[in-house]
Amino acid sequence: MAYVLPTGRGVTAAVLDTGACPHRDFDSRILAFEDFVHGRSLPYDDNGHGTHVLGILGGSGRASNGKFRGAAPGCGLIPLKVLDKNGNGSQETVIEAMQWILKYREKYHIRIVNISVHEQLIEAVEEAWDAGLIVVAAAGNQGPGQGSVTAPGCSRKIITVGSSDMIVHNLGLSGRGPTKDCVSKPDIVAPGNAVTSCANFPAAFPYTVKSGTSMSTPLVSGGIALFLELHPESTNLDIKKRLRSTAIDLGYPHNLQGWGLFRLKNFLEGK
Spatial separation of the C-alpha atoms in residues 147 and 149, rounded to whole Å: 6
What is the rounded distance in angstroms from the CA atom of residue 22 to the CA atom of residue 45? 9
H-run or E-run covering 215:
helix 213-230
Does residue 202 have a cis peptide bond before it, meaning omega lies within 30 degrees of 0? yes
Which of 197, 211, 214, 216 is catalytic? The answer is 214
**Catalytic residue (one of 49, 116, 163, 165):** 49
- C-alpha pair distances (Å), 65 with each of 61, 72, 234: 6, 16, 32
Secondary structure (H, E, C), 64-102: HCCCCCCCCCCCEEEEEECECCCCCECHHHHHHHHHHHH
Q: Is 116 designated active site?
A: no
Nearest to 166 by CA among 141, 136, 185: 141
Catalytic, 174? Answer no
User: What is the distance between the alpha carbons of residues 161 and 139, in angstroms, rounded to a whole number?
Assistant: 5
Q: Catalytic annotation on 49? A: yes
State the Cα–Cα distance between residues 26 and 201, nearest whole angstrom: 13
The whole-angstrom distance between residue 26's C-alpha and the CA centroid of its chain comes to 16
Instruction: Please list the active-site residues.
Output: 17, 49, 214
